Structure formats: C-alpha cells, structure tokens
C-alpha cells in the first residue's frame, strides 16, 4: 500500500474494525478475482462495471460490512509504461460507508 493511502486504511479500520479490514486486505492481495469465502462479492454489470483499461477486470463490489462497500478492479499484468515490468495491481475505485 502506498503511504499516501494510509489514512484511508486507518479510516476503514475505524469504521469496520480490524478483522473485516484485514479480511478485505487478504482477499485483494491474494485472490482479487475469486469470490471471497466470507464476504459477499459480485461483478458489476453495465457501465458501472466497465474495466478502466485493457487487461483490467470489471468492477468488483465487495460487501465489507452491513454498512460498507468497496468497489475495485484488478490487473494481473499491469505495466506503468511500455518498458516497465509487469506486476499485479488492485485499484480501489470507491469506499462507501453508507447502506444501500
């Protein structure tokens, strides 16, 4: 996690608790394209799920708690530029703490 996003992580822990936040972290760091064994996930359809670019997944909607949702996309072979090394990346698109 880049240091500029540490405050977002702290806020997530404050709102949903360390257990739920760690479960989300484990999920996106190890298997972002698979269903989470505990939390509800779904792939968004239509424009809301459109990949942000070539090689990116559709948007995945992760229910982190009864009142929290995180939408993200992942890319298994991201390159910052044509000469860069490929690596896996997860992009958090939105974090919403309000209920549906």
Contact 47, 28 (CB under 8 A): no
Q: Which residue has the tokens 């490929």?
A: 86
Q: What is the pLDDT of residue 43?
A: 95
Residuewise pLDDT in 10s, the chain (100 residues):
667 778 888 888 898 999 999 999 999 999 999 999 999 999 999 999 999 999 999 999 999 987 789 999 999 988 888 888 888 999 999 898 876 5
The predicted pLDDT at position 99 comes to 61
Question: Which contiguous run of DSSP H or E holds residue 43?
Answer: strand 41-43
Nearest 5 degrees, angle CA 2-CA 30-CA 70? Answer: 65
> How far apart are the C-alpha atoms of 33 and 37, rounded to whole Å?
12
Residue 16: closest CA among 59, 85, 82, 62 = 62
How much is the pTM?
0.87
pLDDT at residue 27, as a whole number: 95
Question: CA 53, 77, 26, 48: dihedral to nearest 10 degrees?
Answer: 10
pLDDT for residue 84: 83
3-class DSSP state for residue 38?
Answer: coil
Q: Which two tokens stand for residue 93?
A: 């698109």
């Amino acid at each position: 996690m880049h240091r500029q996003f540490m405050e977002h992580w702290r806020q997530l822990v404050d709102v949903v608790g360390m257990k739920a936040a760690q479960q989300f972290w484990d999920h996106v760091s190890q298997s972002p394209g698979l269903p989470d064994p505990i939390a509800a996930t779904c792939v968004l359809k239509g424009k809301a799920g459109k990949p942000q670019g070539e090689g990116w997944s559709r948007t995945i909607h992760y229910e982190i708690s009864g009142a929290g949702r995180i939408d993200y996309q992942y890319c298994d072979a991201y390159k910052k530029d044509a000469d860069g090394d490929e690596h896996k990346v997860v992009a958090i698109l939105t974090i919403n703490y309000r209920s549906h």
